[in-house]
Amino acid sequence: MSTHEPLLSLDGVKKHFYENDGLLTRIQPGKQRTAVRAVDGVDLDLTAGTTLGIVGESGCGKSTLAKTVLQLLEPTDGSIQYQETDLTEQSDRERRAFRSEAQMIFQDPFSSLNPRYTVKETLVEPMKVHDIGDSKDERVERAQELLDRVGLGAEYIDRYPHEFSGGQRQRIAIARALTVEPNLIVADEPVSALDVSVQAQILNLLRDLREEMDLTMLFISHDLSVVRQICDEVAVMYLGQIVERAQTKELFENPAHPYTEVLVSSIPTPDPTDTREKITLTGDVPTPINPPSGCRFHTRCPKVIPDADWAYSQEVWRRVLRLKKEVGDGEIQPSVMREQLSKEQADVSADDIVSAIFEEHVVEGGLTSSDRVAVPEPVKATIFEALSLLVDESEGAAYDLLDQEFSSVCESAVPEQHSVSSDHRSVCHLRGDEYAPESQPEIDQQPHDR
């Protein structure tokens, strides 16, 4: 682990994209442009000579973050400090100079190389642009050296990209990134498109080059097994924010955020006798257009914190919260349920609809595959009351009742960053003093087992 100053530091970086952002929308008073909050307040620093992995599911903003770091996208807010300079305030000329310090390797080697350039042209052009090498011959010589270095062989220098396989193309892309002698490499899923035997070759190459050239690397990936092998530190992203950051070993062996726990437990391992307990999440990633309030992970979190006076199991609590969210989002439609029931029985009363919704959305948890839970009577009574309001078409009142009876700090308060140990930080209420698991004995994953 290097002890240098941070080479790169991000402070409150945001990148929002706007939908419906035309002139016509703006001058119409009733219409609003919608912001997609791809990256929404990221603080990060990267020590020189180390590799930091950014992991997360698709749509969590990790690629946008990579492009923002390299100024391929202009951040909506925040600052990006590279050594002494603030990248967001650079002139175009300064930015061009910065590009010889920082380079990117892209995911898809089929679209990131110009099909009409030979390998020589691909490699010589960045050197020309950044004034590296005195003459054409010198540049070509350097290109040949680099090709040898990335394991392709100088003899391929006059070929075109279509003559190469995916792994070979990725080697060319790596050579191209190295032509300008960069300090910082941003690699966006560099091995995701490759077969596993080729992936191993490229990972070995990246590891060797990093050491040889003392490169600092930002390594973006959805594949945690790869991240474990190549990164010194890992930051986990969820819906545009960093939720946990730690040294790689620490993060994998001692995850301190429920989302990281889920990610780590879901990776399939190539060992059929592996008996790790899997934590399966329900539902999909919410949209970054309208991210959940409080902690953004609370809608899927297996450890969402119950009310102080909640006396029942964690699973029931999660289902009740999910029901509340579904009611709030207008996802439960009594009219549809009425129609459904009327096919089976002659007359359908409001109570029938309430029981049917209760059965499907709470007892069965919306899915036949999840286990049925027994809902304690007092909770059931409140839910029935709320669902009756829903059937009476007063959605607002139904939601308010549920919200008043069942609310979690995870929905109402944005969690702060807590230190788990030195170099290990987690953005989760459970890591704060107030809600630490010791004071909340009910918090566990499988309450049925008790």
Partner 1 sequence: MSNEYAASQDDHGSRTAPLDGSELNQIERDEQALLSVDNLQTRFNTDAGVVQAVDGVTFEIQEGEILGLVGESGCGKSVTSRSVMSLVESPGEIHGGRIMFDGENLLEKSNAELRDIRGEDISMIFQEPMSALNPVFDVGWQIGEPLRIHQDLSNAASRKRAVELMRRVGIPSAEDRVDAFPHQFSGGMRQRAMIAMALACEPDLLIADEPTTSLDVTIEAQILEIIEELNERQNMAVMLITHDLGVVAEVCDRVAVMYAGRIVEYGDVVDVFKNPRHPYTKGLLDCVPDPREQQDTFTPIDGQVPDLSDPPEGCNFADRCPFASAECRETDPRLRAVDDDHYSACIWEDPA
**Residue 417 CB, nearest distance to partner 1 (Å)?**
23
Q: In the stretch 136-165, what mask flags binding to partner 1 with x, by CB under 8 A?
A: -----------------------------x
Contacts 24+ apart (CB under 8 A), 164-168: 165/198, 166/109, 166/110, 166/193, 166/194, 166/195, 166/198, 167/194, 167/195, 167/198, 167/201, 167/202
Phi, psi angles (nearest 5°) of residue 325: -65, -45
Specify the DSSP class assigned to residue 108.
Answer: -
Nearer to partner 1, 235 or 409 (CB): 235
Of 372-431, binders to partner 1 (CB under 8 A) are: none
Rounded Cα gap, residues 408 and 403, in angstroms: 9
Which one of residues 9, 25, 112, 282 is an interface residue with partner 1 (CB under 8 A)?
Answer: 282
**Residue 249 CB, nearest distance to partner 1 (Å)?**
7
Query: Under DSSP, is residue 383 helix (H, G, I), strand (E, B) or coil?
Result: helix
Residue 12 is a binding residue for partner 1 (CB under 8 A)? no
Q: How many residues bind partner 1 (CB under 8 A)?
A: 55
**Residue 127 CB, nearest distance to partner 1 (Å)?**
29
**Residue 193 CB, nearest distance to partner 1 (Å)?**
10
Rounded Cα gap, residues 429 and 19, in angstroms: 33
Residues in Cβ contact with 79 at an 8 Å cutoff, skipping those fewer than 6 apart: 10, 11, 12, 13, 86, 87, 88
β-partners of residue 185 are 103, 217
Which one of residues 229, 382, 394, 407 is an interface residue with partner 1 (CB under 8 A)?
Answer: 229
Rounded Cα gap, residues 448 and 450, in angstroms: 5
Of 188-227, binders to partner 1 (CB under 8 A) are: 195-201, 203-204, 207, 222, 224-226
Nearer to partner 1, 39 or 263 (CB): 263
Which of 64-72, 106-114, 363-371, 382-390 is the region at the interface with partner 1 (rule: CB under 8 A)? 363-371
Nearer to partner 1, 271 or 438 (CB): 271
Which of 5-13, 14-22, 94-102, 273-281 is the region at the interface with partner 1 (rule: CB under 8 A)? 273-281
Which of 92-100, 177-185, 282-290, 435-443 is the region at the interface with partner 1 (rule: CB under 8 A)? 282-290
Residue 262 is a binding residue for partner 1 (CB under 8 A)? yes
Nearer to partner 1, 136 or 448 (CB): 448
At 186, list the tokens: 């941003």
Residue 295 is a binding residue for partner 1 (CB under 8 A)? no
At 42, list the tokens: 């990221």
160 within 8 A of 115, measured Cβ to Cβ: yes
Rounded Cα gap, residues 186 and 114, in angstroms: 20
71 within 8 A of 13, measured Cβ to Cβ: no
Q: What does the buried/exposed string (b/e) look like for 340-365 if buried means 16 or more CB atoms within 10 Å of the residue's CB?
A: ebeeeeeebeeebbbebbbebbbbbb
Residue with tokens 């040949």: 144
Residue 273 is a binding residue for partner 1 (CB under 8 A)? yes
Nearer to partner 1, 48 or 203 (CB): 203
At 208, list the tokens: 């060797």
Which one of residues 263, 379, 398, 402 is an interface residue with partner 1 (CB under 8 A)?
Answer: 263
Which of 134-142, 246-254, 385-393, 398-406 is the region at the interface with partner 1 (rule: CB under 8 A)? 246-254
**Residue 186 CB, nearest distance to partner 1 (Å)?**
21
Residue 326 is a binding residue for partner 1 (CB under 8 A)? yes
Strand ranges for 153-308 from DSSP E: 184-188, 216-221, 233-238, 241-247
Residues in Cβ contact with 278 at an 8 Å cutoff, skipping those fewer than 6 apart: 265, 266
**Residue 274 CB, nearest distance to partner 1 (Å)?**
7
Query: Which residues contribute to the site for partner 1 (CB under 8 A)?
Result: 57-58, 165, 195-201, 203-204, 207, 222, 224-226, 228-229, 248-249, 252, 262-264, 266-274, 278, 280-285, 326, 331-333, 336-337, 340, 343, 360, 366-370
